[in-house]
């Protein structure tokens, strides 16, 4: 289904009975706590906050808009009746057909209904919640930020959190090595500021694309167009040359100043690791020069919460799986990316196959920022963590099946990265490869499992199952 804009998506959710409107909530922890409650209960609707305390009616925030299974399927165009594993496989195969559908340029769009420049810029017009109890300030955390690579012309869109500083400045956390970070450093190396346009709300495919770890040079605009089956309409910004989504709710245009122009403290923020791992640290400032917004704008909010449901189709495991196949590694049965652990199930075909898969995952674009890569055999379900632990406990020999890779790409929000490394900007850590496969050279002699055979289970179920209803 092609959503023309966020409003179209919201009205669709409303028709499906998947939207609730809450009035009168406060940006100070209340919207965060309500969102945490909603996202941790699997059948909760999307939540549209209006008449937010202290803000003009109509200046709204939408949360819990994707976590729900059927909402995710709607945005990804994946049929509701597929099981989770069928849906993962469907999307994985579909991704192989990806061909960028480039954005189409239009002269103007609803995003320009209101334009504030220079002294009229006031970021505090929009609701900026303090989501978690120890957050260092108000945050907008489901953005789609557009930058332009000065060398290749590549248009990048990434999703980063921003903390509000004052009426025209904010400070971002952009993980080192993310494309937005690589691009901004190119401008800074020439002593220039990096132009940026930050969309705070637009139809969901572009937001999903912005949060997807695509390879360097692949524009998320083209990916979003392909995903939704129609190009994203873009229009030229007001103070930058960046193409901005014409039907966006709010776009902030400005520049990321080089660090030598002064840094401001960013954080702490409740992060996806379940910790305030990044702490409060100086980060480069973004100065906003224009604010473009629709009448009655809607800002997206997708803060991480411990225990909140996570997207199945947006999981990095699917991307890693395709990257391993693109490397030519055979017999990949499934890949799960969970809590920074990559779990790869393979049907071993030769000695060293497991380690090849592990190194492939570490070297790709999607399998980064984790501490463990676990490789299991094809009889283990990588999504069943109990099953995975059983394999680790019984097939992995700590003396010969563990490897530690050092100086691997990590980032400042890694809760286990020692403080002194963070202080010196050494965002590299160690990754353990756990080979939890049966040793290939004696795989046929490995003790048989006691697991009941499929045939015996089926026969028993047919004859005696009625006594043991699930
Ligand atoms: C809701 C959401 C919030 C995110 N917040 C951040 C963030 O604050 N900083 C960051 O570096 N990455 C964040 N990410 C991950 C990046 O958006 C993702 O890795 C993306 O591919 C990076 O884009 P880039 O490599 O094009 O810069 C977030 C992702 C999502 C879905």
Binned at pLDDT 50, 70 and 90, residue 339 comes out as confident
Q: Which atom of ligand 1 is nearest to the CA of 177?
A: 25
Q: Pick from 363, 327, 324, 326: which is nearest to 344 by CA?
A: 324
Q: Is 178 in the pocket of ligand 1 (CB under 6 A)?
A: yes
Q: Can you tell me the mean pLDDT for 92-102?
A: 97
pLDDT tens for each residue of 276-321: 999 999 999 999 999 999 999 999 999 999 878 778 999 999 999 9
Q: Is 412 in the pocket of ligand 1 (CB under 6 A)?
A: no
Output the residue whose Cα is nearest ligand 1's atom 18.
211
Q: Is 292 in the pocket of ligand 1 (CB under 6 A)?
A: no
Whether residue 103 contacts residue 223, with contact meaning beta carbons closer than 8 Å, is answered with: no
Q: Pick from 291, 293, 271: which is nearest to 281 by CA?
A: 271
Rg over CA atoms, the chain? 24
**Are 293 and 345 contained in the same domain?**
no
Residue 330 belongs to domain spanning? 316-444
Q: Is 174 in the pocket of ligand 1 (CB under 6 A)?
A: yes
In a domain, 461, yes or no: no
Give strand pairing partners of 295: none
Give the pLDDT confidence score for residue 308 in this predicted structure. 81
Task: Tell me the pTM.
Answer: 0.95
Residue 141 CA to ligand 1 centre (angstroms): 9
Question: Of the ranges 67-71, 138-142, 154-158, which one carries the lowest mean pLDDT score?
Answer: 67-71
Q: Can you tell me the mean pLDDT for 324-345?
A: 95
**Are 283 and 348 contained in the same domain?**
no
Q: Is 173 in the pocket of ligand 1 (CB under 6 A)?
A: yes
In a domain, 111, yes or no: yes
**Are 296 and 368 contained in the same domain?**
no
Output the residue whose Cα is nearest ligand 1's atom 24.
179
In a domain, 467, yes or no: no
User: Which runs of consecutive H residues, i.e. helices, occur in 303-414?
Assistant: 316-326, 353-363, 385-395
| 346 vs 353: CA distance, rounded Å | 8
pLDDT above 90 coverage of the chain, percent: 93
Find all residues with CB under 8 Å of 307, minimum gap 6, and list them. Answer: 40
Q: Is 267 in the pocket of ligand 1 (CB under 6 A)?
A: no
pLDDT tens for each residue of 411-446: 889 999 999 999 999 999 999 999 999 999 999 999
**Are 323 and 257 contained in the same domain?**
no
Give the pLDDT confidence score for residue 67 in this predicted structure. 81
Q: Can you tell me the mean pLDDT for 25-43?
A: 96
Mean pLDDT rounded to a whole number for the chain: 96
Which segments of 57-181 are extended strands (E)? 60-63, 104-105, 114-117, 139-140, 144-148, 155-158, 161-166, 169-173
Q: Can you tell me the mean pLDDT for 118-127?
A: 97
pLDDT higher than 80, residue 223: yes
Return the residue matching tokens 């965060």: 32
Q: Which atom of ligand 1 is nearest to the CA of 142?
A: 1
Look up the CATH number of the domain holding residue 336. 3.40.1670.10
Residue 143 CA to ligand 1 centre (angstroms): 9
Peptide linkage before 268 cis (omega within 30 of 0): yes
Q: Can you tell me the mean pLDDT for 185-211?
A: 98
Write the CA distances from 257 to 146, 172, 187, 422, integer angstroms.
Answer: 15, 11, 9, 21
| 256 vs 195: CA distance, rounded Å | 6
DSSP code, position 28? B
Binned at pLDDT 50, 70 and 90, residue 42 comes out as confident
**Are 283 and 340 contained in the same domain?**
no
In a domain, 80, yes or no: yes
**Are 167 and 110 contained in the same domain?**
yes
Whether residue 409 contacts residue 213, with contact meaning beta carbons closer than 8 Å, is answered with: no
Q: Which atom of ligand 1 is nearest to the CA of 211?
A: 17
Output the residue whose Cα is nearest ligand 1's atom 6.
160
**Are 72 and 205 contained in the same domain?**
yes
Q: Is 175 in the pocket of ligand 1 (CB under 6 A)?
A: yes
Residue 246 CA to ligand 1 centre (angstroms): 22
State both tokens at 279: 């702490």
Number of independent structural domains in the chain = 2
Phi-psi region of 86 (alpha: psi -120 to 50; beta: other; left: phi over 0): alpha
| 422 vs 282: CA distance, rounded Å | 12
Best mutation site among 140, 158, 412 for ligand 1, i.e. most ligand atoms within 8 A of its Cβ?
Answer: 158
Give the pLDDT confidence score for residue 368 in this predicted structure. 86
pLDDT tens for each residue of 353-406: 999 999 999 999 998 889 999 999 999 999 999 999 999 999 999 999 999 999
In a domain, 10, yes or no: yes
């Amino acid at each position: 289904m092609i959503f023309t804009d966020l409003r179209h998506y919201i009205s669709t959710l409303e028709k499906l009975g998947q939207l609730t409107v809450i009035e009168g909530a406060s940006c100070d922890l209340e919207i965060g706590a309500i969102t945490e409650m909603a996202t941790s209960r699997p059948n909760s609707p999307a939540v549209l906050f209006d008449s937010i305390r202290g803000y003009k009616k109509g200046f709204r925030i939408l949360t819990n808009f994707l976590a729900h299974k059927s909402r995710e399927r709607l945005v990804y165009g994946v049929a509701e009746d597929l099981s989770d594993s069928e849906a993962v496989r469907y999307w994985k195969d579909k991704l192989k057909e990806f061909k960028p559908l480039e954005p189409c340029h239009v002269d103007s769009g609803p995003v320009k209904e209101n334009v504030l420049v220079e002294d009229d810029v006031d970021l505090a017009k929009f609701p900026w919640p303090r989501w978690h109890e120890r957050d260092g300030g108000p945050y907008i955390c489901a953005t789609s930020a557009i930058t332009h690579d000065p060398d290749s012309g590549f248009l990048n869109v990434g999703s980063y959190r921003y903390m509000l500083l004052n009426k025209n400045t904010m400070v971002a956390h952009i993980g080192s090595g993310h494309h937005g970070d690589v691009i901004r450093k190119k401008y800074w190396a020439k002593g220039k500021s990096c132009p940026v346009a930050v969309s705070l709300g637009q139809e969901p495919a572009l937001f999903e694309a912005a949060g997807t770890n695509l390879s360097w040079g692949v524009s998320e605009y083209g990916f979003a167009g392909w995903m939704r089956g129609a190009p994203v309409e873009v229009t030229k910004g007001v103070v930058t040359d960046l193409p901005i989504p014409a039907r966006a709710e709010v776009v902030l245009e400005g520049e990321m100043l080089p660090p030598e122009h002064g840094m401001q403290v960013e954080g702490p923020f409740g992060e996806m690791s379940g910790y305030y791992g990044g702490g409060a640290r100086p980060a480069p400032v973004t100065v906003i020069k224009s604010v473009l917004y629709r009448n009655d704008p809607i800002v997206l909010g997708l803060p991480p919460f411990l225990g909140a449901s996570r997207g199945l189709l947006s999981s990095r495991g699917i991307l890693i799986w395709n990257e391993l196949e693109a490397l030519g590694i055979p017999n990949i049965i499934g890949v799960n990316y969970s809590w920074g652990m990559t779990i790869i199930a393979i049907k071993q075909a030769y000695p060293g196959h497991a380690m090849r898969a592990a190194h492939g995952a570490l070297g790709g674009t999607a399998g980064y920022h984790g501490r463990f890569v676990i490789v299991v055999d094809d009889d283990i379900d990588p999504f069943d963590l109990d099953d995975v632990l059983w394999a680790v406990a019984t097939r992995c020999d700590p003396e010969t099946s563990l490897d530690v890779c050092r100086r691997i790409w990590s980032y400042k929000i890694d809760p286990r990265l020692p403080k002194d490394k963070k202080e010196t900007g050494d965002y590299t850590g160690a990754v353990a490869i756990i080979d939890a496969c049966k040793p290939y050279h004696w795989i046929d002699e490995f003790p048989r499992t006691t697991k009941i055979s499929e045939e015996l289970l089926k026969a028993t179920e047919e004859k005696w199952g009625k006594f043991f209803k699930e």
